[in-house]
Amino acid sequence: MMLHIPEVLTKAQVAELRAAIDAADWIDGNATSGTQSALAKRNEQLPEGSAAARFAGGKILDALSHSPLFVTAALPQTVFPPLFNRYGGGQTFATHIDNSIRQSRDGSVRIRSDLSATLFLTEPEDYDGGELLVEDTYGVHEVKLPAGDLILYPASSLHQVTPVTRGARTSSFFWIQSMIRDDARRALLFQMDIAIQQLSLKVGAGAPELVSLTGTYHNLLRMWAEV
């Protein structure tokens, strides 16, 4: 399941993050690449664990915890500390798949990557190219979102970033280990939770049928969750 989550960050929050990370020293993006990715990847990256990355990453993690749509869709158990990359001057990341296990450089965080996320930090009109292309059984999906918006998609997906031919594309990227490992089950729970929320507005949260449906949701979550 792919999901566009709008306004994870406000424009003011994006500006605050950009001021911090743009002033920092950036390095070759292959500092965190696996063998396959190193052959496909040409970009810059903010050093993992740098003061700027920790500051900006903390702001993003706080924003995610206050995003009901993100929590409902991802059912996160652990969110990997956000990383930051920048593409410009023809830089690109050819088709690849994310590593199944991600570990922070200091070894403090180790997760199974169930979901991948890209949080856009540059307005789309400020650069050409740089589209995120994600492949699934329905074809290739092109993503280029406003600054502050996030795209969430299965980490098992083949994906790429097309060459940036004008300006620069700055974004944050990270992975999530979900309480629900299986994407189909996670999508089912998401659809059910959204329906429950919509029904509660129409019939009231105390309606017996809605109480029963909510119970079914939690019993499925109890059955499938890995915590």
- Binding residues, by number, are 96, 98, 159, 169
Whether the Cβ atoms of residue 25 and residue 93 lie closer than 8 Å to each other: no
Annotated binding site for 2-oxoglutarate: 169
Annotated binding site for Fe cation: 96, 98, 159
Residues sharing a CB contact under 8 Å with residue 8, sequence separation 6 or more, in sequence order: 60, 63, 64, 67, 70, 119, 148, 149, 150
Among 6, 1, 221, residue whose Cα is nearest residue 114: 1
Tokens of residue 117, six digits: 């996320």
Residues sharing a CB contact under 8 Å with residue 51, sequence separation 6 or more, in sequence order: 24
CA pair distance 227, 191, nearest whole angstrom? 21
